[in-house]
């Protein structure tokens, strides 16, 4: 990575501890210091975009504006084919605004209760955005996709969100049964972040 990004401090526009931990792990070999937006007192912003990329840009712009630093934001979620791509951008609040991961997972299981195993195809999507500053007219936008299926019961205790329900065919286990290193290699977020690092190195 060229000197322009070595030793750089970047604010991460997220208050999700699982997401912060994953991105810190993914960037641990880079000479980049990732600081969660909570260190700057940056509040969460309403994610009222209609797409993952709109929401990611909203979050990155807000974090850059409040911190004065370049910002990384991602908006991610799960798309289930049998539900027409839902919950999609509403993944984090699928069961309602005050819901938790368990509530969301249960709602997804209920919605798929009558769906055959062969029709439970799904994918995690991650849209990651890097903005040099709040007025950056050309943010770097990267997309990572992770294909799998939805299980009928949760499995595993690693990860967060829908990980216990996401079946990873090539490893014959759920995402929540993968060790962090393997998950980061396979995951939608890992793929998007590697694209971002490649873009920053040019």
Active site residues: 75
Place of tokens 């509040």: 43
Residues in the chain: 202
DSSP 105-152: HHHHHHHTTT--GGG-EEEEEEEEEEESSTT-SS-EEEEEEEEEEE-S
Q: Residue 78 pairs with which residues in a beta bridge? A: 124
| Cα Rg of the chain (Å, integer) | 17
DSSP 146-194: EEEEE-SS---SSSSTTGGGEEEGGGTEEGGGS-HHHHHHHSHHHHHHH
């Amino acid at each position: 990575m060229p000197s322009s990004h070595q030793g750089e401090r970047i604010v991460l526009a997220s208050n999700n501890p699982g997401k912060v931990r994953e991105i810190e792990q993914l960037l641990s070999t880079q000479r980049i210091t990732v600081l969660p937006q909570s260190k700057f007192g940056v509040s969460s912003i309403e994610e009222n975009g209609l797409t993952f990329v709109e929401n990611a840009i909203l979050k990155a712009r807000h974090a850059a504006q409040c911190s004065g630093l370049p910002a990384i934001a991602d908006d991610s979620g799960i798309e289930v084919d049998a539900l027409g791509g839902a919950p999609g951008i509403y993944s984090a609040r699928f069961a309602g605004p005050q819901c938790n991961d368990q509530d969301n997972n249960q709602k997804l299981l209920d919605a798929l209760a009558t769906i055959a195993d062969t029709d439970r195809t799904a994918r995690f999507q991650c849209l990651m955005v890097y903005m040099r500053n709040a007025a950056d007219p050309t943010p770097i936008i990267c997309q990572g996709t992770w294909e799998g299926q939805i299980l009928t019961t949760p499995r595993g205790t690693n990860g967060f969100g829908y990980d216990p329900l996401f079946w990873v065919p090539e490893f014959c286990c759920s995402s929540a049964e993968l060790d962090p290193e393997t998950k980061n290699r396979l995951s939608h977020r890992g793929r998007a972040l590697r694209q971002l690092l490649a873009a920053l190195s040019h």
